[in-house]
Chain A
């Protein structure tokens, strides 16, 4: 498997993953937050470089999973994770609050940062890893490093992340951002078919808290087989119940506890999976939305990155060789997280199965040592979708036996996997439509009618209008405002024609009807930026021409700025790794217009703001990324304001 983003490659191999898994399990037994180990990374090429493995230890207290009664999610710290958001809406992602807190402490207190820094300097590749909640921390560390090094500092350092039975930690915005940034390949999450831990966070704390502390207790014992109870993290619990505990794991959790816990996790996993599958199937019924808005708590967590499901092989015996299924689409991962955990049939012993789902979290080492990473036999779900609808007889046995667990799923489970693919196709189709409205693509000209106005052509028209006005007595902003000439009227119509196209594009983004990577699509960002710079002044002129501020209870343009300009500005700022600003080279004119409205500010304040704007304009003028001829530099309005301030 290759972890790739541009030049950032980290090739995982059998040996590396085994080392990561062993270190992850070992990390549980140490006091440090993480363990490190340097390995030779003998990639297929002859040159072998060094690789630093950083394995985070798990935290297994109730509070380490849930900091509240529900799902314990919290808004992400945007200075640490600037990319974890929806760009256009500027909506921040949510992650597990407890894990975030622990990770922040690690960043602040330990030598973690210098360790990473040193590895980068020494040109060591970095592999973050961890088991259970240690894996969750490894994921956060990887996300942090991708933002800090790859994006912000533009250091193309090979980074990878491998987790084993890690709980989910990010909401669908994290999942969206990871796909948008093409980071999914950096994460490899191993999940045993029946491991309960990767499903746990789909349940709210209230639904599983009855036995949660006992089960986590059991997990602690499992990962520290050689230590007796030292840390009394649940003093109450120990005082009440049997004071002396044997290390017999299976007695820590009785059948009833295991079954209740298992059932509640599975009910909630079902709720989330069905909820999302329903949405993917072009539903017409709105009851579900109503229920999940106010009455049913649906977990915010969604998977991200690449998942490797270790499934049972040819027969049900646990000793048979397992098969590994690779899944990248988060929606498919979610469906499989649910469907693989279901009992195959009602003859199964529920208690045994429930216990197995707890124990499965400790089978990764064994799995990898016995089976290794089955690079050759590993199957990617993408290649199986076409076979999902065929019945037993018609497909070659090789495909079906290549992943028995998948093909044994019920028909309706398979429909969910197919619906995921269909939904992706619809998104791509929408993007294709937009592509056609952007530029004239020579290859398939016959496909669309000449009726459609192409954005690019309209930009040219506006360019011409702007140029022409420059040679007249006034600039295009003033001319547009006056609307005296027929060309001004034409420009106004062109403004609205553009609005028609861009309003829909923005609405598609908001409704999530476009592929995740849409907002970082180069061609879009370039065109949207040009559109914003050329057209926004005309919208501002139109706003102050009608002095809409009066009708709108004195709101300034910036307070009601259309999304068709807000979004493109954020796309541009994101693409250039800048912070999100309110004022920009395309809308500062609105601020000048505001300063011209009497009574809004004192003369002193207005003077100061005026100077600030002038400074900013200078800054933008010297920014080589900003095409000089696209921007309206505010000549007429700036001099008007200057006169006005001089008079005052």
Chain B
């Protein structure tokens, strides 16, 4: 049977109408005489309220004096862009007003990193509340990336604040789920400032909008197109009195509405609660007649899609996927183990499968190798897109798995690379490996205090996932020398490789498998030994000649 869908925003609207936090925030604004003040509300919340903007400035605003300006070089909002949304446009008035408030405000925000704060403002004061909230969110991101778990996120309530920025501004905020969910914009029908930019297509709303009318009707919307439609409808109903709107009465009306049941049946009551819910919402705020059926159908479709998507992209997928990756990694480990038993090691076994059995087992793991690579490429890409600081925190959980993946799979990529006759892998190394290594190094530096735990036993997985690239490069240099096309540069490279080897051996950070008889390393050594002659007695040569490597474990 088809599932019945509902319009949860109907309930959100009722919820918002019933709570005291919203009128309390407005009350705090009314009591604010300085540019901004802290208040404690009767229900015990702390409110940072911005006073309303001067009437002169608001009048200038309403004449259309301030328009969008590009964010480039605007230092006051430089914490908003992300890698993906690197620039945006914002209303000039917002920047100008925010600039006027000094560092004291920033310090005040900072004091509330660990305590929940409601930030509020009405009209153009709402601009300040929005920017202040964003700045505090950013400060919290930084705090959290330093490992703090005590942080509390603020919430922003604006009253009749006009749209503030363009779609890139909205996108930059939507990219951070923590930021996105903390904006509530209350808009009364008769407020001329609130709908000022509603027909200016470059402006885009973000956050949740609570629309209300004098009779107490109210409804909540989050979809930007719905918000714009309602704003536009409200604007057309406006009798254009450019008075600053007082929300006190409308707020008490919407709360009063909780006491009464309202109309018991809708005129066109049908079997689709989702659609009926949307209609009810529009009716609540008296704009139903201004919205076409097509628009309602679009709203319905959008919500249906969102609910469906939520159901198909199940919350359990990440957990399933993680276990799938563990399974693939187990296949890889088994492959490594069997190659070891073959006596060549999995690097060379993969690069030059000789026996039929080797070819078959390589075929078997290819799928797992591919799955792992796709998964980690995607994961790394996602995490990298996260705004720098916020991402760091999320990464930690994945890093252990990522490091394992890198150490097991990257050697196979290297094998493939050199097999095709390419050189200089490290210069062409895929980005996701580079990032995984960088994050893992950063993480180790951050978490390990003074003395890194020393190894006394050989690592089971070679720590440097580019190890085999070093071996391949050393082999190439050696080949050049043997062929007579080498130079002093080749000699130096080989010396460097020797000392690299000794460092790795002494720190036990390579796997004993590298010394398996048929491995590329041992093949290189045989040629190198011959090239250098018997008298050659570097530290590494001695280590190999006297057979110490055999007891490396």
Contact = CB atoms under 8 A, between A and B. Distances in A.
Interface of A: 206-207, 263, 266-268, 270-271, 274-275, 277-278, 280-291, 294-297, 339, 342-346, 348, 350, 389, 391-392, 408-413, 415-416, 418-419, 422, 425-426, 483, 486, 489, 492-493, 496-497, 499-500, 503-504, 507-508, 511, 550-551
A295 B310 contact: no
B262 A410 contact: yes
Contacts of B553: none
7 contacts: A281-B11, A284-B8, A294-B155, A295-B21, A391-B265, A411-B266, A489-B337
A227 B181 CA distance: 56
Contacts of A277: 11
Contacts of B331: 493
B316 A507 contact: yes
Interface of B: 3-12, 14-15, 17-21, 42-45, 116, 118, 152-153, 155, 177, 180-184, 207-208, 220, 222, 255, 258-266, 269, 271, 273, 276-277, 280, 303, 306-307, 310-311, 315-316, 319-320, 323-324, 326-327, 330-331, 333-334, 337, 400, 453
Contact of B8 (A278, A295, A346, A486): A278
A489 B330 contact: yes
Nearest to B319: A503
Could you say which of A286, A295, A409, A550 has the most chain B C-beta atoms within 10 Å of its C-beta? Answer: A295
A290 B157 CA distance: 13
Given A342-B260, A411-B266, A416 B271 contact: no
Contacts of A342: 258-261
Contact of B19 (A271, A280, A492): A271
Contact of A493 (B8, B277, B327): B327
A492 B273 contact: no
Contact of A389 (B14, B17, B273, B333): B273
B15 A288 contact: yes
Given A410-B264, A415-B273, A496-B330, 20 more contacts: A267-B18, A268-B18, A275-B15, A282-B6, A282-B307, A283-B12, A284-B307, A286-B180, A287-B182, A287-B183, A287-B184, A294-B153, A294-B155, A297-B43, A342-B258, A411-B264, A411-B266, A411-B280, A496-B323, A500-B324
The 3 closest A-B pairs by CB, nearest first: A281-B8, A270-B18, A500-B323
Contacts of A206: 42-44
A291 B25 CA distance: 13
A502 to B, nearest CB: 10
A411 B9 CA distance: 14
Given A291-B19, A291-B155, A410-B264, A282 B310 contact: yes
Given A287-B184, A500-B323, A274 B153 contact: no
A389 B266 CA distance: 11
B12 A409 contact: no
A270 B14 contact: yes
A562 to B, nearest CB: 11
B118 A295 contact: yes
Nearest to B10: A412
Given A271-B18, A422-B3, A295 B155 contact: yes
A280 B220 CA distance: 17
A52 B4 CA distance: 47
Contacts of A489: 330, 334, 337
Contacts of A483: 333-334, 337
Main secondary structure on chain A at its contact with chain B? Answer: helix
Contact of B152 (A294, A297, A409, A419): A294
Contacts of B265: 391-392, 410-411
A412 B6 CA distance: 10
A344 B14 contact: no
Contacts of B263: 410
B260 A415 contact: no
B157 to A, nearest CB: 10
B259 A283 contact: no
Contacts of A550: 453
B45 A274 contact: no
B44 A267 contact: no
A274 B11 contact: yes
Nearest to B207: A287
A282 B5 contact: yes
A409 B323 contact: no
A291 B12 CA distance: 11
A207 B18 CA distance: 13
Given A285-B208, A290-B182, A410-B262, A271 B4 contact: no
Could you say which of B18, B323, B326 has the most chain A C-beta atoms within 10 Å of its C-beta? Answer: B18
A343 B261 contact: yes
A412 B8 contact: no
A496 B207 CA distance: 41
A539 to B, nearest CB: 12
A511 to B, nearest CB: 7
Contacts of B20: 207, 267
A498 to B, nearest CB: 9
Contacts of A339: 261
B259 A266 contact: yes
Nearest to B25: A295
A373 B280 CA distance: 38
A342 B263 CA distance: 12
Given A291-B155, A411-B276, A489-B334, A278 B11 contact: yes
Contacts of A296: 19, 21
A527 B323 CA distance: 21
